Amino acid sequence: MMQGNSHSVTVDYMQRDLSSNRLVGQIPTQLTSLNFLSKLNLSHNQLEGPIPQGPQFNTFQSDSYIGNLGLCGFPLSDKCSNIDDAQEPAPRDTWSWFDWKVAMMGYASGLVIGFSTGYMAFATGRPRWLVRMVERKRIRSKFCIIVSIDSE
């Protein structure tokens, strides 16, 4: 899908200049059905992929695509490589999915271990280590309040 500044194309236009419009992506194949275009200038954008083939697109000169380093196919001298080569980002998506799967397994393991430890601590009786830790913090906070009141 081509993205950038939008332009409406009507039957009244025989020539269309979309050069230097910051268009990004592939040229939509739907443009090949616009048989009323005598000239289409897509130069100096960031287009990529194969140039669509059709009755009108086969008549456009190579200068219509200058400055789009990612474009390939007729009428340019750059031939398109295999379709399999163009689909290299798929492994990246696979690795991204794998990374999230590993992270979620880590979170789930942590939750299971945490809840199990908590249950065992409270089920076996009063968790003395927890009571001591809370009491220490409570005593320290009272001491800080007393010290701050006395210093005034």
CA 29 from chain centre, in angstroms, equals: 24
Average pLDDT (26-53) is 88
| Confidence at 13, pLDDT banded by 50, 70, 90 | low
For 62-80, what is each residue's pLDDT tens digit? 898 999 989 999 888 888 8
More confident residue, 86 or 108: 108
* pLDDT at site 79: 87
Distance CA 50, CA 65 (A): 11
Convert the pLDDT of each residue in 92-136 to its tens digit: 555 666 778 888 999 999 999 999 888 877 777 767 777 777 777
Rounded to an integer, the average pLDDT of 140-145 is: 60
Structure-model confidence comparison of residues 20 and 82, the more confident one:
20
Task: In whole angstroms, give the CA distance from residue 85 to residue 51.
Answer: 16
**What is the average pLDDT score of the chain?**
77
Q: What's the pLDDT at 86?
A: 45
Query: Higher model confidence: residue 106 or residue 31?
Result: 106
Model confidence at 49: pLDDT above 80: yes
